Amino acid sequence: KTHLLSEYAPYPFEITSTELLFDLAAELTTVTSWLTFERTSAEPCPMVLDGEHMTLLSVSLDDVVLRQDVDYQVDDSKLMLLHPPTTGVLSIVTTCSPASNTSLSGLFATGVHLMTQCEAEGFRRMTYFPDRPDVLSVYSVTLMANKTQFPVLLANGNLIEQRDLEHGGHLATWHDPFPKPSYLFALVAGLLACLEETIEQDGARKLLQVYVETQDLPKAQFAMDSLKASIVWDKKRFNLPLDLERFMIVATADFNMGAMENKGLNIFNSKFVLAHQDTATDFDFENVEAVVGHEYFHNWTGNRVTCRDWFQLSLKEGLTVYRDQEFSSDQLAAGLNDVAAASARAVKRIDDVSNLRTAQFAEDAGPMAHPIRPVAYEEINNFYTMTVYEKGAEVVRMYETLLGRYGFRKGMDLYVQRHDGQAVTCDDFRAAMADANHVDLSQFARWYEQAGTPTVTASGSYDADAARYTLTLTQHNPAVGIELQQEALLKQPLHIPFNIGLLASSSTHTVKAGEDLPLTLNDTSARTLTLSLTEAKQSFVFENIPCAPIPSLNRQFSAPVLVQFDYSDDDLNFLLQHDSDAFNRWDAAQQLFTRCILNNINTPAAPVFNDTQLSTLEHLLNNHDLSPAYRAQLFTLPSIPYLAQLIARTGRIDPQTLFAAHQRADDALALSFQSTWRTLYAQLNNGQNYVYNGIAAGERALKNLALRKLARVDSQAISLVQAQYDQCDNMTDRIAALSTMVQYHSASASAMLADFYQRYADEALVIDKWFAVQAANGHASHEQQMQTLSELLAHPAFMKANPNRLRALIFTFCNANPHHFHQVDGTGYNFWAEHVLAIDAKNPQVASRLARSLEHWRDYAGPYCSQMQAALQKVANHAALSQDVKEIVGKALA
């Protein structure tokens, strides 16, 4: 069944209060509900409640037991009350079995604990309810369970009562004063340890708790610190306070996604809570901080103001991703001087944009392409996408670019003030931004309506006599994905905030070559200007330009677009040396690498880089004015999936020739700068004690990049790798050494792999890394890699019901090992099909993510393309496919 945005209708009843009683046990849990309702529609109508995968025991209305088929009907997806009165209390008793719930949606068992995941439609697996985000209700929840087994009983809001019951039981009653939709409901029954602190805000003490397994308690402090920083940040930046007496975070090892913002009771994948230098990398620390922030920020953008329907998902997700990106950026910049702070922010921006370009641009160019507000879905869980989240965040960021930091804040204030306690739409957000700033943002609506990555093509002409430069921009928004099937679809020009700078190509009496020229358009003398591109084609004229400029386009990545400009190799080299915009300077390097790698595919015998390029690059690598973190980014080649996507825009991908050219480029960087890498490694490998912060992490990133480069071309470097592995005091350096060993010296890696396994056998998240490192080994032979894979699948530590482990082994192989996944005989694709089907039988959400690995099959050359198609067809033909996977493979094959 397809759900359509156009079919939205309000629910005809209000559920003013929801009382729930859970009698909890892993095998069988009984849920009793009391729903106080009031009809809001003018005419009498049936009351339809969602419900699935549970057993109905009884239904009563105002204490009178109702009769099936007389008073109500029930099928496998809903319960319908045939003649409900205008008001009343409906009481329903159901049972479900957490222990046999392998989907991890609804109430499920994880280790010895019971937890819930309700977004998007998990609540309906526990009790019958209008399980949609626009039905807000005030919840009181009582949990009963055996006290020895489940000493901790948590639900949303404030704890009202806790007491012992007979026969070793106990109960806890929780009340959440804020009306909320069912997807924000949560409960936890467990045997957990808790790290506890308090924080004062607006004169009130708030209790903060992080619940983890007892042995993980030493790894919970960083999440607690991140939570405190998030609370302070949201108050300072947006004046949004913590609104409950307590805020809880609970970690689970079994989770489909990253984390969930349940009101006052966030439940997290342990990967995004636990952080300690012995077991977590810098990247893990960064993610913990970002995800803790993200879920906390949802309290206002998502919970207090929620979504009218799931088509509006980006209303909360795009906005909250934008907020967590800003939080992380502010955290990185905290305490630094202006120059260092700007550089730290650029590093964060580069990470975010390269993620967007690799994964979201690809999504937007494939069969799953959708606008940030989709208009149709079969399974909503398939729309928790890069587009809704990351492109959605870019759309929010564009408001800030257009309205300024202060204007954006005024818009946010109005949005919260207008809509607190409501379930609203993306249009309401846009209206608040427009109204607070007295501007017209009607054209901006198209960002919510159109899919695909726009291309902005720029061309410049310089009139030396008039000292005038004219920049002409055209935007092109071709139909993509589902849009291709809509006849007579006319995509309209978008409102694009396009930041530019003009670099002096030669020195004049006012500026030196490479500096930014003052831009006098609209009477400003700024060095970076935001152009408002609103037409299909538009020219911008700059006066008093003393020499032919080289334009720096879409600075800071002000709009999520592809930019086309006919830069010569020399222009790119020039931008790489001089662009004052750190983001664009990095991008110049990316463009240069891209160009050289793609050229080299057809001229494999020629050098990948010429001498000019190499000398510019070497200067940059040695430029100590650039932070180590930034230099590590500059010298990270564009990824193979990103390059594949660019190739697919004009031709077909041959994954093996692409891989080979990418390898030659990496070899060239390693060999050409070998002595610089050696010096850098020696300088940065200075035996300092581990501390996590942006600067230290950047130094480790550059050091470990140097180590990889050395290991790649110098067999002697194996001793450096071994020494680092043995001597380091943190997981970042240890896993870098292990992965370098596995990739470049796989024949000698087995002792290190065995040692690593021994050391961390009890640390699930570290064992995930151990699996992932081996699944990603692009340098082994095909036979070796497939052999390793089957050994790992048979390994006692491979737990096929645990999503993190599945992601570590199976997803890593399918998504991050293009060399071995894309085998010409289709072995990799058959592996994919087999696992999509096996996982789908237990956990459709996870299977459906894996199913997306082949969605770009049409972009591939000859044998690969047809082999992928065959594998997709094999999955599509399977009889008992979930709705989740069916939608993905259906769209891929359509």
The one-character DSSP state at 258 is S
Q: Which is nearer to ligand ARG, 117 or 505 (CB)?
A: 117
- Interface of this chain with Zn ion, residues 283 to 322, rule: CB under 5 A: 317, 320
Is the torsion defined by CA of 152, 154, 160, 166 positive or negative? negative
Judged by CB, which is closer to Zn ion: 118, or 502? Answer: 118
Q: Which does 807 bind (CB under 5 to 8 A by kind): Zn ion, ligand ARG, none?
A: none
CA contacts within 13 A on the Cβ side of 781? 4
Site mask for ligand ARG (CB under 6 A), range 827-866, x = bound: ------------------x---------------------
> Which residue, among 768, 756, 830, 833, has the nearest Cα to 803 in the 3D structure?
768
What lies within 8 Å, CB to CB, of 693 at 6+ separation is: none
455-463 and 423-424 strand pairing: unpaired
Determine whether 295 is an active site residue.
Answer: yes
Residue range at the interface with ligand ARG (CB under 6 A); choices 254-262, 427-435, 437-445, 759-767? 254-262
Residue 292: CB minimum distance to Zn ion, A: 12
Cα–Cα distance, 469 to 142 (Å, whole number):
70
* Contact call for residues 872 and 857 (beta carbons, < 8 A): yes
Determine the Cα–Cα distance for residues 115 and 863; give it in Å rounded to an integer.
46
Give the total of residues touching Zn ion (CB under 5 A): 2
Catalytic residue among 295, 326, 379, 887: 295
- Rounded to 5 degrees, φ, ψ at 669 are -65, -40
Among ligand ARG, Zn ion, none, partner that 370 touches (CB below 5 to 8 angstroms by kind) = none
**Taking CB under 6 A as the criterion, which residues in 119-138 touch ligand ARG?**
119-120
Work out what residue 381 binds among ligand ARG, Zn ion, none; the CB cut-off runs from 5 to 8 Å by kind.
ligand ARG
- The nearest distance, CB 197 to Zn ion, in angstroms, is 24
Out of Zn ion, ligand ARG, none, what residue 505 binds, judged by CB under 5 to 8 A for its kind, is: none
By C-beta, is 306 or 812 nearer to ligand ARG?
306
Complex with ligand ARG: residue 260 or 806, whichever CB lies closer = 260
What residues are paired with 190 via a beta bridge? 152
Whose structure tokens read 């090992």? Answer: 817
With CB under 6 A as the contact rule, the residue among 261, 390, 855, 887 that binds ligand ARG is: 261
For ligand ARG, the closer CB: 393 or 533: 393
Q: Which of Zn ion, ligand ARG, none binds 256 (CB below 5-8 Å, type-dependent)? A: ligand ARG
Alpha carbon distance 182, 133 (integer Å): 7
What letter does residue 841 receive in the DSSP assignment? T
Please select the residue that binds ligand ARG; options are 209, 262, 381, 848, rule is CB under 6 A. 381
Stretch that binds ligand ARG, among 6-14, 259-267, 721-729, 751-759 (CB under 6 A): 259-267
The helix-helix angle for 750-760 and 731-744 (nearest 10°) equals 150
Virtual CA dihedral for 690, 694, 699, 703, nearest 10 degrees?
90
Residue 317 or 363: which CB sits closer to Zn ion?
Answer: 317
The angle at the Cα of 514, spanning 511 to 516, to the nearest 5 degrees, equals: 60
- C-alpha dist (Å) from residue 401 to 184, 321, 332, 557: 32, 16, 21, 11
Contacts (CB under 6 A) with ligand ARG, residues 280-309: 294-295
Q: Given candidates 216, 254, 317, 763, which one binds ligand ARG under the rule CB under 6 A? A: 317
The interface partner of residue 257, options being ligand ARG, Zn ion, none and the CB cut-off 5 to 8 Å by kind, is: ligand ARG
Which of 240, 253, 259, 480 lies at the binding interface for ligand ARG (CB under 6 A)? Answer: 259
Q: Whole-number minimum distance, CB 384 to ligand ARG, in Å?
A: 4
Encoded tokens for 735: 């896993």
Among 108, 384, 756, 811, interactor with ligand ARG by CB under 6 A: 384
Binding mask 335-374 for ligand ARG (x = CB under 6 A): ----------------------------------------
Q: Which residues of 636-645 are buried (b: 16+ CB within 10 A; e: fewer)?
A: bbbbbbbbbb
Outline where DSSP puts E strands in 388-478: 423-424, 455-463, 468-476
Residues binding ligand ARG: number (CB under 6 A): 13
In the region spanning residues 55 to 94, those forming contacts with ligand ARG, defined by CB under 6 A, are none
Residue numbers 316-335 binding Zn ion by CB under 5 A: 317, 320
Cβ closer to Zn ion: 306 or 663?
306
Number of H-type helices and E-type strands within the chain:
29, 31
Q: Given the complex with ligand ARG, which of 104 and 347 has the nearer CB atom?
A: 104
Point out which span in 251-259, 796-804, 822-830, 875-883 binds ligand ARG (CB under 6 A): 251-259
Q: Are 109 and 99 within 8 A, CB to CB?
A: yes
| Binding piece for ligand ARG, criterion CB under 6 A, among 253-261, 449-457, 550-558, 595-603 | 253-261
Ramachandran angles phi, psi of 533, nearest 5°: -90, 115
Phi-psi region of 335 (alpha: psi -120 to 50; beta: other; left: phi over 0): left
From Zn ion, ligand ARG, none, interface partner of 475 (C-beta below 5 to 8 A by class): none
Tell me if 378 contacts ligand ARG by CB under 6 A. no
870 binds ligand ARG (CB under 6 A): no
**Residue 387: CB minimum distance to ligand ARG, A:** 14
Q: How far is the CB of 620 from ligand ARG (least distance, A)?
A: 37
Contact 28, 95 (CB under 8 A): yes
**Which whole-number Å values give the CA distances from 860 to 353, 386, 652, 657, 835, in the listed order?**
25, 22, 5, 12, 22
- Residue 503 burial class via C-beta count within 10 angstroms: exposed 0-12, middle 13-18, buried 19 and up: buried
Residue 5 or 257: which CB sits closer to Zn ion? 257
- Number of residue whose CB is nearest ligand ARG: 384
Q: Which does 259 bind (CB under 5 to 8 A by kind): Zn ion, ligand ARG, none?
A: ligand ARG
Residue 545 CA to residue 682 CA, distance in Å, equals: 46
Cis peptide preceding 648, ω within 30 of 0 = no
849 binds, among Zn ion, ligand ARG, none (CB under 5 to 8 A by kind): none
Q: How far apart are CA 780 and CA 660, in angstroms?
A: 14
Nearer to Zn ion, 298 or 555 (CB): 298
Of 33, 94, 137, 256, the one binding ligand ARG (CB under 6 A) is 256
In angstroms, give the least distance from the CB of 412 to ligand ARG: 19
Residues with Cβ within 8 Å of 339's Cβ and at least 6 positions away in sequence, in order, are none
**C-alpha–C-alpha distance, residues 369 and 855, integer Å:** 11
Binding site for ligand ARG (CB under 6 A): 119-120, 256-257, 259-261, 294-295, 317, 381, 384, 845
Binding site for Zn ion (CB under 5 A): 317, 320
Instruction: Tell me which residues are annotated as active site.
Output: 295
